[in-house]
Amino acid sequence: MSVVKKERVKQVPKFMQATVSCGQQSILYGQCIMKHYQNMSKDACAAEFSAYKKCVQTVLSRKW
């Protein structure tokens, strides 16, 4: 296995934990997507995504 693949595999559990820790934000984001899926427009769920992203970044102590 290449070094890059090994590093990605090591990151999966961290991302899974961040997703679990940010459950409420992910639910709100998913509900927004479902609410607008037939008539989606740019930034329709931007606030919900931003809150989810901020939570994940906080849990991972990483910004991107």
Examine residue 15 and state whether it is found in any structural domain, yes or no.
Answer: yes
**Is the pTM higher than 0.85?**
no
Q: What is the largest CA-CA distance in the chain?
A: 43
For residue 32, what pLDDT is reported? 96
Quick one: which of 45, 47, 52 has its CA closest to 22? Answer: 52
Examine residue 1 and state whether it is found in any structural domain, yes or no.
Answer: no
Q: Which domain holds residue 28?
A: 11-60
Q: How many domains are there within the chain?
A: 1
For residue 7, what pLDDT is reported? 66
Length of the chain: 64
Read off φ and ψ for residue 61, nearest 5 degrees.
55, 45
Examine residue 3 and state whether it is found in any structural domain, yes or no.
Answer: no
Examine residue 29 and state whether it is found in any structural domain, yes or no.
Answer: yes
Examine residue 4 and state whether it is found in any structural domain, yes or no.
Answer: no
Examine residue 42 and state whether it is found in any structural domain, yes or no.
Answer: yes
> Which token pair is 31?
């509900």
Q: Is the pLDDT of residue 38 over 80?
A: yes
Q: What's the whole-number average pLDDT of the chain? A: 87
Which DSSP state fits 39? G
Examine residue 41 and state whether it is found in any structural domain, yes or no.
Answer: yes
pLDDT tens digits, 6-21: 666 677 888 888 888 9
Q: What is the full DSSP assignment across 39-62?
A: G--TTTTHHHHHHHHHHHHHHHT-
